[in-house]
Amino acid sequence: MAVDELDTRILRLLLEQPRTSVREYARVLGIARGTLQARLDRMEREGVITGTGPTLSPAALGHPVLAFVHIEVTQGHLDEVGDGLAAVPEIVEAFSITGDGDLLTRVVARDNAHLEDVVQKLINLPGVVRTRTEVALRERVPHRLLPLVESVGRATRP
């Protein structure tokens, strides 16, 4: 989907002021509410906007330990293991990957002992051959999309 300059301005507002009303966004942008709503609907339909819920902090929910667990899977069992991962609440993301391992998961835990318990659950899933865990020490670049949105917006300018 092509994101034009107005789309970029809309996305910037959504990222910077997520709790503002559509009416206020339209006022700030100087466009009709209907125009804004049509743009938002199109971007949702085309998968640019994928959610509107709050961003939560696992640390504030009592899970300050973040780890990345690489999982090697028995050939042909990727879907089965993926289903098993979905049943583990401490797995906040999981991706099929290339390179070493077959899956990469982002895991949160209360402490290191809890992390070990979660990793043991993963090891015991049918189809898991081995795991490799890397504990995050400090976040250096928080999850962000605004620089990408701005870059895409600049690329569409004549």
CATH topology assigned to domain 58-136: Alpha-Beta Plaits (3.30.70)
In the chain, where the domains are located: 5-54, 58-136
How far apart CA 98 and CA 85 sit, in angstroms, is 18
Task: Specify the pLDDT at position 157.
Answer: 66
Task: Specify the pLDDT at position 155.
Answer: 72
Task: Specify the pLDDT at position 154.
Answer: 75
The parts of the chain modelled with pLDDT lower than 70 are 1, 156-158
Helical segments of 17-145, H only: 22-29, 33-45, 78-86, 112-123
How far apart CA 7 and CA 39 sit, in angstroms, is 7
Classify domain 5-54 by CATH number. Answer: 1.10.10.10
Taking only the tens place, the pLDDT of each residue in 91-121 is: 999 999 999 899 999 999 999 999 999 999 9
